[in-house]
Amino acid sequence: MNGIRSEKIESTETEVADSNFAAVSEVEAGIRDFVRNDIAYLRRPAAGSEPALDSGAEATVTNVNSLIQRVAGTSLAEIKNLISELETLRDLLHAEGQRVQREISGYAQLSQAAMKSTRMIADNVAQWKRAADGLRNS
């Protein structure tokens, strides 16, 4: 019984989702058509058979084009500057990584030298202790 209800619920949910998706697609298509039709005359070049844009519309198109070029130019310049800064930071991080590796290598060598020195000192102290114990016992 529960299996039948869950199947009905799932099928109902699927139908609702499909109808919602269809409605959204229809609205989006309507918006696209509206925008295309609304600005289509701005994209068409002036031809002999088509009416030419009036001077106000032409000035608006020119202003919009120049605005887009300024915004795009500024954005492109900012993106180029950002890329340049990121490349500089990448080089800096690479150089710092190499420096840290050299420092770690130097510390590892220093640590090994300290261990060798400590072993030598411990061995010498052990020899002196045996020699001292031998002198006391004799």
**What is the per-residue pLDDT for 69?**
77
Query: Please, what is the Cα angle at 62 between 61 and 67, to 5 degrees?
Result: 100
Q: How far apart are the C-alpha atoms of 93 and 81, rounded to whole Å?
A: 18
d(CA 138, CA 135) in angstroms, rounded, equals 5
Question: Which pLDDT score, from 0 to 100, does residue 13 have?
Answer: 66
In this predicted structure, what is the pLDDT of residue 24? 80
* Buried residues in 42-62 as b, exposed as e (16+ CB within 10 A): eeeeeeeeeeebeeeeeeeee
pLDDT digits (tens, 9 = 90+) for 60-89: 778 777 777 777 777 788 888 999 999 999
**CB atoms near residue 116 (< 10 Å):** 10
- How do the domains of the chain map onto residue ranges? 1-46, 74-138
What is the pLDDT, as a whole number, of residue 6?
54
Chain segment 84-131, per-residue pLDDT in tens: 999 999 999 999 999 999 999 999 999 999 999 999 999 999 999 999
Of residues 35 and 98, the one with the higher pLDDT is: 98
Highest mean pLDDT among 1-15, 44-58, 77-91, 98-112 belongs to 98-112
